[in-house]
Amino acid sequence: MTVAPHRQRVVYREKAAERTAPSVGLSHVSLELGHLYMEDLQDPESESRLAEYFRSVSHWVKATKSMGRWGSTSSRISTCFLIDDYFSRLDDPRVIIKKVVDAAAKSGLEIDYIARESSCAEFGATKLAQQVFDSIVPEPLPGANGSRPPLEKSGWLANGRRSFDPTVVPAMADGTWHGPEQTAANRHSIFMDVQIKDDLWSCSFLASVWQLLRLGVLRPEDKQLTKPVKVRGDYPSAWSDLPPVIKLTDTPNPFCAYRSFSILPTRFMEVEMAARTVLQQVEVDALITADLNARARAESIQLPPEILDRIDYAFINDWAPATGR
């Protein structure tokens, strides 16, 4: 009697189908209390001006926490503050962080997390800015003829078609000047052309990375970026020796959140508008989108389908910078 050899069943699966979204903790809202530049922090009068700024911010914080739309139960709200260590050389972290935290405390505010802007560009082997740049899918421009260099070469991203001057490019001319045209204009165009990078990533682009990080959309392997750690003992003297995001308090509320709310001086309005132009054209990982939606439903939260609709702002006039930027 001959026994047929046992055949092992082979199951083929797509590698992508086995991929799961890396887990991150989620608050209901990430509340940004400010984003200041080097000159704001090193100005001789910075302590009194910071205190005045946080007094204005405190009113918005109270209003935000009382809005009652962040969760079905008690709201999980974490506060954060972004410091520019990417474009500027800052004083000793021990001086700057204490100055910011003390000024906030005088207005009854507690900062849970402080982030370094340079970490939105890169931290160690993690290059968040490049990751977001690679996920940009530029809007198709009406009437485009290939004369404009692609994003990879130009470093510029628009939300529509630029103006056309026939005197500059006669071969394309039909004898008339054409104004810029927004791709999804609501009757009249609001055209934006955003510089993403030159030799550095732009402030506007890093602002878009910062929003995505806070919204739990970016989940890098280096978990320090989404799960901040406390610094034990004294802070190091070099900013580069600090974690990308520092946990300052014992709050159980995570750094990342379903939604973000940023309270900023009005001079950041243009930067944030440019960041929104970028975010409009970023393709979000479908697995992460599904994870966010499923977790929101489990908490009976109605999460807007578009990333832009998960971002809120309050712009205030009470901070006057020492010098222009």
pLDDT averaged per 10 residues in sequence order, the chain, 325 residues: 49 56 93 86 78 92 78 82 89 90 94 97 96 90 63 83 55 60 66 89 97 97 95 92 96 97 94 95 95 94 94 82 49
> Is the Cβ–Cβ distance between 310 and 28 less than 8 Å?
no
Domain assignment of residue 126, given as a range: 23-134+198-316
My answer on whether 305 and 225 are in the same domain is: yes
The kind and range of the H/E element at 59 are: helix 46-65
* C-alpha triplet 282, 301, 114: angle, nearest 5°: 60
Domain total of the chain: 2
C-alpha span between 263 and 285 (Å, rounded): 27
> Is the Cβ–Cβ distance between 234 and 93 less than 8 Å?
no
Residue 141 domain flag: no
Six-digit token string for 56: 């204005």
My answer on whether 163 and 267 are in the same domain is: no
Pairing state between β 257-265 and 27-36? parallel
pLDDT of residue 11: 46
My answer on whether 203 and 259 are in the same domain is: yes
Angle 46-65/93-106 helices, nearest 10 degrees?
Answer: 50
How distant is the alpha carbon of residue 105 from its chain centre? 25
pLDDT of residue 173: 52
My answer on whether 48 and 170 are in the same domain is: no
